[in-house]
Structure 1
Amino acid sequence: MRKLLASAALIISMASAASAETIAVSMARFDDNFGTVIRNAMVAYAKSINGVTIQVEDAQGDVAKQLDQIKNFAANKVDAIIVQPQDTSATQAMTDAAAAAGVPLVYLNREPINIDTLPANQALVASNERDSGTLETKEVCRLFKKAGKTEASVYVIMGELSNQAAVQRTQDILDVIGGPDCGVKINIIDRQTSNWQREQAQNLMTNWLSTGTPFDGVIANNDESAIGAIQGIRASGADVKPYLIAGIDASQDGMQAMQAGDLDVTVFQDAAGQGKGAVDAALALAHGKKVDRRVFVPFQLVTPDNIGDYLKKN
């Protein structure tokens, strides 16, 4: 933790000294709620730093389009690039394009597949996904146990299967329920991807409900998917309250669902903190300063008991 704080202090000091620099940003999708919070935080923070210009482009969920954006940024010799990768398994080409042009690159929010071989002027600013699904699922276990259950059946809604965060969050779920500390036997009836999207998650839930299979809860890779499950249950005419619904992100919509008593568990992922951290890292690298390969902003468990601490954070 001391090392992380020292690194953050260095990055902030370099950002404050920045002058006449351009940071180019490629976001996976502008229509993603969580990504919008990150984007707005980056733009506002960069504007608060004298002499820093930020330009942000939308990859619209298109891997090829995003790579073209990175290549164009590099060709235009911007001072640094920030990318929230659409497909974390397709990041080597982005790394190569930036490296060939000598332009620093910061991966944001989503860990690239080539993280361990990044050049010295590239880094990741995100949260440690090994904590996200772990915090979520441990709380699910605790709540089932508190309710007196020794066995429970759940559906799992995954994010985009090409995304490292979705893969890791799902693995977290499997590790916790298969480990010795859960205290409840949790059976996964089915797991499907909603591609992080609320509407797709609602459709999944509708299809699952149509089978008539009894279940006790839904563990989702993000709040949007959890909300989609809630909407699917409600649209069927059923009461959401008997089901344990869990998500990740602590988005504003997720917080509203928790206040309404529909969402039982979420995990705060500091979107604004990641956005600001990415700008700091980009400026530090642009000044030739060393930045840790991974700069992690911690996840934090959010429940109805402590929701007041998080209502305005995302």
Structure 2
Amino acid sequence: MKKFLISTAVLASLAGAASAETVGVSMALFDDNFLTVLRNGIQSYADEQGHSVQIEDAQNDVAKQLDQINNFIASGVDAIIVNPVDTSATQAMTDAAAAAGVPLVYVNRQPVNLDTLPDNQAFVASNEVDSGTLETIEVCRLLAEMGKTEANAYVIMGELSNQAAVQRTQDIHDVIDGGKCAVKLNILDKQTSNWRRDEAQNLMTNWLSTGTAFDAVIANNDESAIGAIQAMKAAGIDMASVIVGGVDATQDALVAMQAGDLDVTVFQNAAAQGSGSLDAAVKLAKGEAVDQAVWVPFELVTPANINDYLQKN
């Protein structure tokens, strides 16, 4: 499979004044801050390029998402974009689109069948091997900067059916086990919040009730990090004494960073993923060649460079 790294600037300039295409888009969930930016990126780019997009909410339901794909096929769309509910359930979607000869592009969440995608299917996202790695290395550096030589951390995972959550959690362990952490970091516990702020808040509240001393919280996404922060602040914890990391660099996360509550996040360019996925879908619909894996780089965000990201999402 061909893979390449593509900059945001190149992504933005890929499409020319092309003829209009109709693209069906199935999003895993509308009620998610990051996915909202991704969805808006697709819509904005479609408006700019003169394409028609029909965007549907799968409401985190695998069966509903497959129905949406079949309905798109039946309605005669030129191509389909899918942000999968469950990345381990993408084979049926690939098969349905392939059988109908309709190009399909997965966006943001890596399909389990990435290595066997047909020629008229592709994947546009950021490489999750980098996300948790950047986050964890910076958390370790900040702990060392606080004078720690050994530290304890809680890990808040995303949906366990999602490849990104699995990989970001693995990244944490790879940093620790690979000797890339500036301190001896012990993981006290790791549990899922399903990417949700409220679940992360409840989870952190439960951890706090044990009275166990900890130094850091490493979350798979910003919403979970914010939920943990809310629980800690409600418990009267001095946020300067705890290092908190997330991923996505959402606007809410950047506000939390400006307030001194969130210490590190990793920018995932949702808008570029959205425009890149639509560009790939349109090209495939026209019979043009598209690399099957298009990577939009992750970027570390800290208080030192936050001003570079305040207007990006």
Q: Give the TM-score taking structure 2 as reference length.
A: 0.96
Q: Which residue number in structure 1 is paired with residue 311 of structure 2? A: 312
1 CA distance for matches of 2:106 and 2:184?
38
**Could you report, residue by residue, the CA deviation over 1:252-303 in whole angstroms, capped at 9, with x for unpaired residues?**
0000000000000100000101001011101111111111111000000000
Tell whether 2:195 aligns with 1:200: no
Query: Displacement of 1:147 after TM fit?
Result: 1.3
Query: Displacement of 1:212 after TM fit?
Result: 0.5
One-letter amino acid of the counterpart of residue 175, structure 1: D
Query: Displacement of 1:57 after TM fit?
Result: 0.2
Higher RCO, 1 vs 2 (CA within 8 Å, ≥6 residues apart): 2
2 CA distance for matches of 1:248 and 1:263?
11
Query: Displacement of 1:148 after TM fit?
Result: 1.3
Q: Which residue number in structure 2 is paired with residue 283 of structure 1? A: 282
Check conservation: 2:4, 2:295, Cα contact below 8 A: no
Q: Which residue number in structure 2 is paired with residue 236 of structure 1? A: 235
Q: Which residue number in structure 2 is paired with residue 121 of structure 1? A: 120
Query: Displacement of 1:181 after TM fit?
Result: 2.4
One-letter amino acid of the counterpart of residue 63, structure 2: A
Task: Give the length in aligned residue pairs.
Answer: 311
SS of equivalent to 2:67: helix
Query: Displacement of 1:10 after TM fit?
Result: 9.4
One-letter amino acid of the counterpart of residue 145, structure 1: A
1 CA distance for matches of 2:5 and 2:150?
40
Tell whether 2:188 aligns with 1:183: no
Q: Which residue number in structure 1 is paired with residue 166 of structure 2? A: 167
Task: Work out the percentage of aligned pairs sharing the same amino acid.
Answer: 70
Check conservation: 1:12, 1:280, Cα contact below 8 A: no
Tell whether 2:94 aligns with 1:95: yes
Query: Displacement of 1:130 after TM fit?
Result: 0.3
Distance 1:244-1:11 versus aligned 2 partners, 3 A rule: closer
Q: Give the TM-score taking structure 1 as reference length.
A: 0.96
SS of equivalent to 1:25: strand
Query: Displacement of 1:102 after TM fit?
Result: 0.3
**Could you report, residue by residue, the CA deviation over 1:157-203 in whole angstroms, capped at 9, with x for unpaired residues?**
00000000000000000000111221311000000000000000000
1:82-161 alignment, distance < 5 Å: 82-161=81-160
**Could you report, residue by residue, the CA deviation over 1:30-83 in whole angstroms, capped at 9, with x for unpaired residues?**
000000001111101101113x11110000010100011011111222101000
Structure 1 unaligned spans of 5+: none
SS of equivalent to 2:133: helix
- RMSD of aligned residue pairs (Cα, Å): 1.8
1 CA distance for matches of 2:225 and 2:121?
34
SS of equivalent to 1:281: helix
**Could you report, residue by residue, the CA deviation over 1:95-153 in whole angstroms, capped at 9, with x for unpaired residues?**
00100110000000000000000000000000000000000001011111111111000
Structure 2 unaligned spans of 5+: none
Distance 1:224-1:10 versus aligned 2 partners, 3 A rule: closer
One-letter amino acid of the counterpart of residue 131, structure 1: D
2 CA distance for matches of 1:140 and 1:306?
16
